[in-house]
Structure 1
């Protein structure tokens, strides 16, 4: 009887060990979502009005591939309509990044290339943008945020020419969630007032 109990005990240990290995393997196969956590800091307490706003970690948030969708009206930049595609951000060096947009709309495919400089401590960003549809421009941005982890990048361009017209572009990038963001676009021509275009909406791929 003692021998039977011993055999049963050893068998049960092997079964339990097997289940433990299966459970551990299942957990190991679940992809980590730590890289997609929001930017709100964990203070271990409710926030206060005098809390310091954390600096935006551009690399942590943007690097990788995103899909986008936009439905813009006609403007000085060209015909409107729905645009879809992807944008891929990659790090070039500390404080420097590249973004390449591959999109398509009713008039065909287009590519947008950006070289971005971000100064985290100064809360400033600069970028040079080249659009395959026939124009390029430079922009600078102030980076704003709040203790809740929401950030805004307010990009404003120097005047540039599109088909002989003087154009200015504003892009406001809203970061309020770890897997999605939005860009509001405003355009002005020949020194006139800004016209609001439809937003571009992005989702992590």
Structure 2
């Protein structure tokens, strides 16, 4: 057998071995979502050794009015799977319009997925907030029971923004266009620029990842 033939035969036999090693090394890798808002680090004794474990913040319970005039709780929003939280002011203009256009894409992508809900919180509540929310929801094409527009007392809203969602609004500035992904346990699993198509594409992908982890624990 010629040297060239020996070399070719060796390469042919080597390919399956390399493929096996590649799959063995990398085939079990998974795309894991991060968890945001670390609160503290606890130490746990495991098999006689102390291990450090980060404890993350869970969004606390809240109760807000919807565009339909009824109240909805944080538990209701996430009890089926997850929700996408966003923040707006009815008079914020173009930034909120751009954000809502992206949120419409998310709603349409998961229209038939009952485990995905959207919640847009008004950071500037008014006495006629329910009527304002209803007009805003209608203009955004929100599906009833799928996309909730929410409002509450100023103190409640401020607490949610700062303490529960970890945002730091600038006084006098327009509401932040941060969008958050909240899982079924109340943890923040994603943070995005609501006006960025690229970021919102990432949100759609990460919702799929989170749903996959629910289906394949």
Fold match (TM-score > 0.5)? no
Larger RCO of the pair (alpha carbons < 8 Å, separation 6+) = 2
Which of 1 and 2 has greater Rg?
1
The structure carrying a bigger strand percent of its residues is 1
TM-score (norm 1): 0.26
